[in-house]
Chain A
């Protein structure tokens, strides 16, 4: 620093250390509680020395909440959302930045508006759409009279129906349907020099060629940042998977945590609950630690 301030430096260290302790304490408490047996975890005050039942509790939590398949589901969903966002956002941003077609500004705004309304607030009608994902198209056919026309001409009654409840696509697609990534790419594409495009065009490369061979390799950093953020975001989703996975086969690890809330009456099994919590906490924490650089860069770049 610029001057000698021993007292202030001391003070800084103290506060930062307190912040560090508050930040890390819940993790530590969860880990320690997960290692106790039923009696010790309910002791007042709970011992801060680790107990001996850690692996037993982990095993119990794992089987009680059936976490193996649930973690796999979480992983499929998070990876699907991350991949979908990374791909679809790149395509859209390319279209918005590199082409001039009629209605481009309108499309830009259509996409922009999706940033404003999170899934949580339109949760009821979104659920209805996922229950029959073709219902919007059926409604359009009905209202425009097309289904009447088709029935008259061909004798076939149009009834489109495709339910996505309890499916991976039902978990993933609605979460991809916002524009978070598009603007990250757009920002980046705008900084790519025009000379590059010119040179590519002079060499006879078409739009697709340019996109795949030049633009995408240049955006590797953005993809890593966006992919990391979206993976975390999707892994941590709760309300959406809670609603649409009515049967256990597609439930995610985060929603299954609810199974581990100790019952009222009897001695609460906090050790098992904390073991389960630890298992569910760990994957995103590992992603944050490993991908910290991308994660932080992406957070600041998307301003989300």
Chain B
């Protein structure tokens, strides 16, 4: 869509875009370019020039078992938490959409978790899921050694998944509810008059109509699980125990800033960027498709 009426003086037009362009050049394009450059060179931590090494950084990363471990951990984390957050969000939204008494109340409260900072909710869940105090301690008393995220990698992974999903249920809920409410009531009423039950209507009418939203949220949840997980991991597990929760973003941070391996961190960044770009392209293709729907 384009404007018919525009302003003629194009110098003014460009001037309006200059602040944004300066910012994204300095803090986006330059660093992104730098990341590519560093990933292809061996950068000395405190200056002293870089040596061109081609794809060696990528080779050594991809040969490193720790890196594959972090990819696996990220995928497990992304898969389970996305599935959980989307499923719960979908169920809650579908039920809220039935508009029984009190649905307005749920509509208000269920999105609160989205406003909470990841580290703050991580802190809350660290306490709630602590093995020695709070609630899991009760389980541990009955069944000693059942739960200890500090020692058991699976328990640690479960903790960060619970914390992340809790936040994103609220986010998914908003979008699912909006999608459900965009479906004309008359469609559902007509189906009801034809004698189809609630479940039948859900599968045959509502579900197909919200698939674009499902797909959209799938992409958003997965990309966010690569980024927003940093605070949760840092507060809850610091990547441990034994690297079990050393997700990709966390590994970039610890290799780059703690290990001072700029080149390795840059190469990891590039891999993660490519991953996210691919996901985003999927997303835009989908958005364009959805525009045709309406």
The chain A residues found within 8 Å of chain B, CB to CB, are: 1-3, 5, 8-9, 12-13, 15-16, 19-20, 22-24, 26-27, 29-30, 33, 41-46, 88-89, 91-92, 94-102, 104, 107, 110-111, 114-118, 120-130, 133, 136, 173-174, 176-179, 182, 190, 194, 197-198, 201, 206-208, 210, 232, 235-236, 238-239, 242-243, 254-255, 257-258, 260-261, 268, 270, 273-274, 276-277, 280-281, 284-285, 287-289, 292, 295-296, 299-300, 303-304
Closest B residue, CB atoms, query A108: B17
The interface bits of chain B over 115-126 (1 if a CB of A lies within 8 angstroms of the residue's CB, else 0) are 111111101111
Closest B residue, CB atoms, query A235: B117
11 A-B pairs with C-beta separation under 8 A: A16-B106, A19-B91, A26-B121, A44-B132, A45-B138, A98-B7, A117-B277, A257-B120, A258-B119, A268-B133, A296-B111
Tell me how far the C-beta of B83 lies from the nearest C-beta in chain A, rounded to whole angstroms: 17
Within 8 A of A (CB), among B71-108: 88, 91-92, 95-96, 98-100, 102-103, 106, 108
The interface bits of chain B over 1-33 (1 if a CB of A lies within 8 angstroms of the residue's CB, else 0) are 101111101111111110111011111111110
Contact of A23 among B5, B13, B25, B169 (CB under 8 A): B169
Q: How far is the CA of A201 from the CA of B227 in the complex (A)?
A: 46
**Would you call A121 and B127 a contact (CB within 8 A)?**
no
**Would you call B230 and A239 a contact (CB within 8 A)?**
yes
Contact of A91 among B17, B98, B120, B123 (CB under 8 A): B17
User: A residues within 8 A CB of B221?
Assistant: none
Within 8 A of A (CB), among B237-294: 249, 252-253, 256-257, 262, 265-266, 269, 272-273, 276-277, 280, 287
User: B residues within 8 A CB of A98?
Assistant: 3, 6-7, 13
Q: How far is the CA of A182 from the CA of B31 in the complex (A)?
A: 21
The number of residues on chain B lying at the interface, defined by a beta carbon within 8 Å of a beta carbon of chain A, is 106
Q: How far is the CA of A276 from the CA of B122 in the complex (A)?
A: 13
User: A residues within 8 A CB of B287?
Assistant: 303
Tell me how far the C-beta of B16 lies from the nearest C-beta in chain A, rounded to whole angstroms: 4
B170 sits at the interface (CB 8 A): yes
Contact of B227 among A110, A120, A197 (CB under 8 A): A120
**Would you call B174 and A277 a contact (CB within 8 A)?**
no
**Would you call A289 and B112 a contact (CB within 8 A)?**
yes
**Would you call A190 and B10 a contact (CB within 8 A)?**
no
Q: A13-B100, A129-B27 are in contact. Are A121 and B227 (CB under 8 A)?
A: yes
B110 sits at the interface (CB 8 A): yes
* Most chain A CB inside 10 Å of its own CB: which residue of B20, B23, B178, B257: B20
